[in-house]
Amino acid sequence: WESSSESSSSEDQEDIDFPYGGQARSILSSLEESIGRIDDFLSFERTFAYGDVVCSLSDPSGQMGRVVSVDVLVDLENVQGNILKNVNSKKLLKIRSISEGDCVIKGSWLGQVQRVVDRLTVLFDDGTKYEITTLEKDKILPQTPNFLEDSQYPYYPGQRVKVKSSTASKSARWLCDNWRDNHDEGTVCSVEAGLVYVNWLASVP
């Protein structure tokens, strides 16, 4: 009885394999290829943090160690499309220190940044400098294309801007000299977080 059952089961399996054999092999082949791509992706996205225990990728069973320092190298593209490779991230700074979505603390409170109003330092061609908070963006108009794809950074260092005289003369803080009639266009030399709107989530005891 057992022999007959095994034979019947084997025949059933052959019946299944015959019509679907080619398709099954194709599925398995595609699956192996997908797994290979996932492995490549995971290798590319692999990141390390201080204190991680690691081993050599070429010798996983070899000596183990603990991460004590991390260097991240990045490739940078400028507005002309030129690429600078292998720049150490320690030599880079964000355009401004706080961005939308960042988690922040004040005293015992934990919150998330909902909106940031930029504070710009603008340098005019005659060397005059002034600082202004961009509450009304239509008063400070970019004159050069915004090559940044992130809309939360409308201004960046090196950008040429046109300033309406009423904005510059009344709401600005002058760092060097005073307002003149020819102070209508200048270059952004620094961008900072001027006003930050925060959604406070919880108080940490």
Side-chain-side CA neighbours of 177 within 13 Å: the count stands at: 14
3-state helix, strand, coil in the chain (%, to 5): 25, 35, 40
The model's pTM: 0.55
> Which residues, listed in sequence order, are joined to residue 87 by a DSSP beta bridge?
74
User: How does the average pLDDT of the chain come out, rounded?
Assistant: 74
| pLDDT for res 112 | 92
Q: Residue 46: which pLDDT band, with cuts at 50, 70 and 90?
A: low
6-16 average pLDDT score: 49
142-149 average pLDDT score: 70
> Collapsing DSSP states into helix, strand and coil, what is residue 155?
coil
Query: What CA–CA distances, in Å, run from 120 to 147, 154, 183?
Result: 18, 11, 15
d(CA 58, CA 62): 9
Q: What is the DSSP string of 77-112?
A: E-TTS-EEEEEEGGG---SSS--TT-EEEETTEEEE
Beta carbons of 102 and 112 less than 8 angstroms apart: yes
Beta carbons of 172 and 121 less than 8 angstroms apart: no
- Secondary element (H or E) of residue 45: helix 2-45
Q: How many CB atoms lie within 10 A of CB 157?
A: 13
Sign of CA dihedral 182, 184, 187, 189: positive
Q: Residue 43: which pLDDT band, with cuts at 50, 70 and 90?
A: very low
The identity of residue 64, as a single letter, is M
Name residues whose C-beta falls within 8 Å of residue 170's C-beta, 6 or more positions apart in sequence: none
What does the pLDDT look like over 105-120, one tens digit per residue?
Answer: 888 898 999 999 999 9
User: Which two tokens mark 99?
Assistant: 């961005």
